[in-house]
Amino acid sequence: PSQVAGWGLFSHGSIERQELVTEYVGELVPRHFRDTSETLRKYRFNLNAAQVVDACPKGNMSRFANHSDKANCDTKIMTVRGDQHIGLYAKERIGRGEEIFFNYR
């Protein structure tokens, strides 16, 4: 478990600077959809003006990455075959067993 919050996401091996760590995946939900549950909202990532990726009902390990203002990863939205994807990329070398962070803001 993370010393920051929840499970956390940890590297299984060394990750080099600018290397793709993982893709943030989930269910595409209209951005205007509002859910009153804070628990469900915390797994949402704004993809574009119309959609969010909701990793609560469906997702992978990336949903356990915690927030940090001094994050070791950046997110990048990529277009692959016409579809948008969210990648987590290392901002610096990340050692084996280190926790993965990105800035939620």
* pLDDT digits 0-9 by tens, 80-100: 999 999 999 999 999 999 999
Is the residue at 2 inside a domain? no
Sign of the CA dihedral 22, 5, 59, 29?
negative
Residue 74 or residue 3, greater confidence? 74
Is the residue at 72 inside a domain? yes
CATH number at residue 55: 2.170.270.10
Q: Which pLDDT score is estimated for 51?
A: 93
Question: How many whole angstroms separate alpha carbon 85 and alpha carbon 103?
Answer: 17
Number of domains observed in the structure of the chain:
1
Q: What angle do CA 10, 105, 14 make, to 5 degrees?
A: 25
Is the residue at 85 inside a domain? yes
Is the residue at 47 inside a domain? yes
pTM comes to: 0.85
H or E element at residue 44: strand 44-46
User: Cα 86 from chain centroid?
Assistant: 8
23 pLDDT higher than 90: yes
When pLDDT is cut at 50, 70 and 90, the band that residue 34 belongs to is: low
Is the residue at 14 inside a domain? no
User: Cα 2 from chain centroid?
Assistant: 15
40 pLDDT higher than 70: no
- Which residues span the domain enclosing 33? 20-102
